[in-house]
Amino acid sequence: MSMKAVAVANPKGGIAKSAVSVNLGHESIEQANRTLLVDFDKQGSLSLAFPRTADPTKRYIKTVDLFGTPEGLVGAELEYVTPTVAIIRAEKEDFEALRALERAPDDFAKRPARVLRELVDKFDVGVFDTPGVIGVPLLAALTAADAVVCPLALGLFETDGLAQLWQIIRQVKSGGFNPKLRMIGMLPSRVNTRDKMAMAELESLRKHPQLGPIILPFMLAERVPVARAINMRKPVWQGAKTASHKAAGQEWKHACSHVLTSLEG
């Protein structure tokens, strides 16, 4: 089978894109898929969650390389963190270069897809984490992906950013970047279930004529064990003992397996 890749995207910052990417990675690995993780965000959150186990003296393909010329890839190899899981990292030393890419001409966004296309036979699932800022790296991830899932945060400032998200998805699909990009759905994330206003807002968004049908029928509540699991580099559902952790585990396992199932279809 050839790789199907999902990008986790929403240019709004801090709404769980990386948390979702990391756990999609864990779920894909648990399903025994050959998995390629690509960190399109200069902050390197996905890279941090899967630390280096391979030879530090070797030259591995890293995120900036995806935007360079084919010659830049000569002598670089894929970094495997396990025999079936590889990662393309946003390295700390490339922070400025990746930031500069945010303002590069849009055509640069087509380069990573060309490099990643060469790898489709080596993997079953690709997971692309994207930055919380509009620019070429986000455009590139959406161009190289088969599908996108968008964490959705509630609140005035958060939902205001949705217009930007639509604009970029429209650009990807109609602007010659990736007409086949599929929307898996919007995933309500970091939801404060104790806040009645937030819950009412979610209910009303679910009834919205355009937005409602693409909001996934479940959510990820804001729960302390989620952040802890991320900090411990564990899947949210692993080792749950408290009620809150068990609830978080069920939510995240369900959401991640749903996204991977939708990715196949």
Ligand X SMILES: Nc1ncnc2c1ncn2[C@@H]1O[C@H](COP(=O)(O)OP(=O)(O)OP(=O)(O)O)[C@@H](O)[C@H]1O
| Interacting residues with Mg ion (CB under 5 A) | 17-18, 45
User: Does 143 participate in binding ligand X (rule CB under 6 A)?
Assistant: no
Please say which residue, 34 or 89, places its beta carbon nearer to Mg ion: 89
CB atoms within 10 A of CB 19: 24
Binding partner selected for residue 158 from Mg ion, ligand X, none, CB under the kind-specific 5 to 8 Å limit: none
Query: In angstroms, rounded to a whole number, what is the distance separating the alpha carbons of residues 67 and 124?
Result: 23
Radius of gyration of the chain (CA): 18
Residue 226 contacts which entry, ligand X, Mg ion, none (Cβ below 5-8 A, type-dependent): ligand X
By CB under 6 A, name the one of 38, 222, 240, 259 that touches ligand X: 222
Is residue 239 at the binding interface for ligand X, with CB under 6 A as the rule? no
C-alpha angle 138-41-70 in degrees, rounded to nearest 5: 75
Q: Does 132 sit near ligand X (CB under 6 A)?
A: yes
**75: DSSP letter:** T
Burial class (CB in 10 A: 0-12, 13-18, 19+), 242: exposed
Given the complex with ligand X, which of 54 and 247 has the nearer CB atom? 247
In degrees and rounded to multiples of 5, residue 61 shows phi and psi of -65, 125
CB nearer to ligand X: pick between 52 and 228: 228
* Contacts of residue 189, Cβ cutoff 8 Å, sequence gap at least 6: 15, 16, 19, 20, 151, 152, 153, 219, 220
Nearest approach, Cβ of residue 264 and ligand X (Å)? 24
Pick 123 or 128: Cβ nearer Mg ion: 128
In one-letter notation, the amino acid at residue 233 is R
CA angle 170, 146, 88 (to 5 degrees): 110
| Nearest CB to ligand X, comparing residues 35 and 43 | 43
Q: Does 16 bind ligand X (CB under 6 A)?
A: yes
Please choose, out of 91-99, 159-167, 172-180, 215-223, the segment that lies near ligand X by the rule CB under 6 A: 215-223
Q: CB under 6 A: which stretch of 8-16, 55-63, 75-83, 158-166 binds ligand X? A: 8-16
Residue 138 as a binder of ligand X (CB under 6 A): the answer is no
| Spacing of C-alpha 125 from chain mean position | 12
**What sign for the dihedral angle of Cα 147, 237, 47, 51?**
negative
Assess 19 for contact with ligand X (CB under 6 A).
Answer: yes
| Minimal CB distance residue for ligand X | 132
223 interface partner picked from Mg ion, ligand X, none, CB below 5 to 8 A per type: ligand X
User: What does 33 interact with, of Mg ion, ligand X, none (CB < 5 to 8 A by kind)?
Assistant: none
Task: Select 28 or 201, whichever has its Cβ closest to Mg ion.
Answer: 28
